[in-house]
């Protein structure tokens, strides 16, 4: 099988197909142009620098395309980067599907679809189930292919569905432990809580925030969709069941300063919030540990309030 970006060693000559997931033309302080790029394949991301810029580079290269790149892997400020010697778009007969180069959720889309289908059946309250069905159908493809974030936690294709299912798995154990927890509401809200990200983010490749994402935010965006769905399905949006579902989704960031317009006022909202936070912490730990040798402490992690993380040595 072909070598991937992460397989090359420092100072080794690289020649690979990869997805060009960012591209910027910059100038040195003395006035010389150069290219800063990100290359992506399923082994991860690497930054590339091209110090000699050709006319073809400027004409042909475009974010989101598959390219063939040659260069040398080097280290700069403790991070690997690729000194690019040549780069070109792929030709007929060579790989060209960006999706083949994206990192994927640990679980296959089909398996996640099956699990979601099974979960929906457990949402035995009629209105909640119909809303979930309606919206998961409306945004089916995006739900199973979008990342859950622009960067940081779950920033891989399929991450949105994977994250939502992780929450559900833990929610089951929490519901087992405490009284007066409505599993139907907890599952419905867990599946919908981050679905606004399909409107907030631009998609799985070269992900950025949309205008609606910046100006409205994913929490309000999904609330609006729930209300529109309810209208379409002839439900009373001020009946208790619809209020509880929207409340649980709206409150899932827990604190106003994290962007929720209301704080959790029912148990299901509190559980969803806390598990969402735990899942985010675990992803942040994984990222930090991946860059840290056993027996050492990581650099300070922005996503963990600037904490440094320890990678234990013992098994």
User: What's the closest the beta carbon of residue 2 comes to its own copies, in angstroms?
Assistant: 25
Residue 286 engages its own copies in binding (rule: CB under 8 A)? yes
Residue 210 dihedral angles phi and psi, to the nearest 5°: -80, 170
Q: How many Å apart are CA 155 and CA 305, to the nearest integer?
A: 19
Asked whether the beta carbons of 132 and 192 are under 8 A apart, the reply is: yes
Residues 240-259 that bind its own copies (CB under 8 A): 240-241, 243-244, 246-247, 250, 255-259
The length of the chain in residues reads 315
Among 74, 103, 207, 291, binds its own copies (CB under 8 A): 74
Q: Is 309 in the site for its own copies (CB under 8 A)?
A: yes
What Å distances lie between residue 135 and 195, 215, 230, CA to CA? 9, 22, 10
Interface with its own copies in residues 101-130 (CB under 8 A): none
Return the residue of 67, 187, 267, 287 that touches its own copies, per CB under 8 A.
Answer: 267
- Applying CB under 8 A, among 19, 35, 131, 271 the residue interacting with its own copies is 271
Choose between 28 and 141: whose C-beta lies nearer to its own copies.
28
- CA distances, 252 to each of 81, 144, 230, 312 (Å): 38, 21, 20, 32
Q: CA 30 to CA 145: how far, in whole Å?
A: 43
Cβ atoms of 63 and 22 closer than 8 Å: yes
Q: Taking CB under 8 A as the rule, does residue 266 contact its own copies?
A: yes
**CA Rg value for the chain:** 22
Among the listed residues 41, 39, 34, 47, the one whose alpha carbon sits nearest the alpha carbon of residue 76:
47
Site for its own copies, residues 209 to 228, rule: CB under 8 A: 211-212, 214-217, 219-220, 223-224, 227-228
Which segment (73-81, 87-95, 111-119, 142-150) binds its own copies by CB under 8 A? 73-81
* Cβ 240 to its own copies shortest distance, Å: 5
Q: Which stretch binds its own copies (CB under 8 A): 53-61, 134-142, 152-160, 174-182?
A: 174-182
Site residue total, its own copies (CB under 8 A): 83
Q: How far is the CB of 119 from its own copies (least distance, A)?
A: 15
Contact 21, 81 (CB under 8 A): no
Among residues 152, 182, 183, 206, the one that binds its own copies under rule CB under 8 A: 182
The answer to whether residues 276 and 167 touch, using CB atoms and an 8 Å cutoff, is yes
Q: Does 75 bind its own copies (CB under 8 A)?
A: yes
């Amino acid at each position: 099988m072909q070598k991937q970006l992460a397989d090359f060693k420092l100072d080794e000559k690289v020649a690979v197909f990869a997805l060009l997931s960012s591209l910027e033309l910059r100038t040195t302080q003395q006035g010389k142009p150069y290219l800063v790029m990100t290359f992506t394949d399923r082994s991860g991301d690497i930054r590339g620098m091209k110090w000699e810029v050709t006319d073809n580079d400027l004409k042909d290269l475009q974010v989101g395309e598959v390219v063939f790149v040659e260069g040398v892997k080097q280290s700069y400020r403790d991070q690997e980067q690729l000194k690019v010697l040549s780069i070109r778009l792929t030709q007929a007969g060579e790989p060209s599907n960006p999706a083949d180069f994206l990192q994927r959720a640990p679980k296959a889309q089909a398996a996640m679809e099956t699990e979601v289908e099974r979960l929906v059946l457990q949402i035995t309250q009629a209105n909640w189930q119909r809303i979930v069905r309606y919206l998961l159908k409306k945004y089916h493809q995006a739900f199973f292919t979008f990342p859950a974030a622009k960067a940081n936690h779950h920033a891989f294709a399929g991450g949105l569905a994977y994250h939502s299912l992780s929450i559900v798995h833990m929610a089951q154990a929490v519901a087992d432990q405490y009284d007066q927890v409505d599993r139907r509401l907890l599952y419905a809200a867990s599946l919908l809580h981050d679905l606004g990200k399909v409107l907030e983010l631009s998609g799985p490749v070269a992900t950025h925030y949309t205008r609606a994402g910046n100006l409205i935010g994913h929490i309000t965006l999904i609330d609006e969709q729930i209300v529109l769905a309810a209208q379409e399905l002839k439900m009373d949006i001020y009946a208790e069941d619809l209020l509880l579902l929207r409340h649980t989704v709206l409150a899932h960031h827990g604190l106003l300063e994290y962007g929720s317009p209301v704080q959790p006022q029912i148990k299901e909202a509190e559980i969803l919030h806390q598990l969402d936070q735990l899942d985010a912490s675990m992803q942040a730990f994984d990222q930090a540990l991946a860059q840290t040798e056993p027996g050492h402490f990581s650099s300070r992690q922005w996503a963990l309030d600037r904490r440094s993380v320890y990678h234990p040595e013992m098994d």
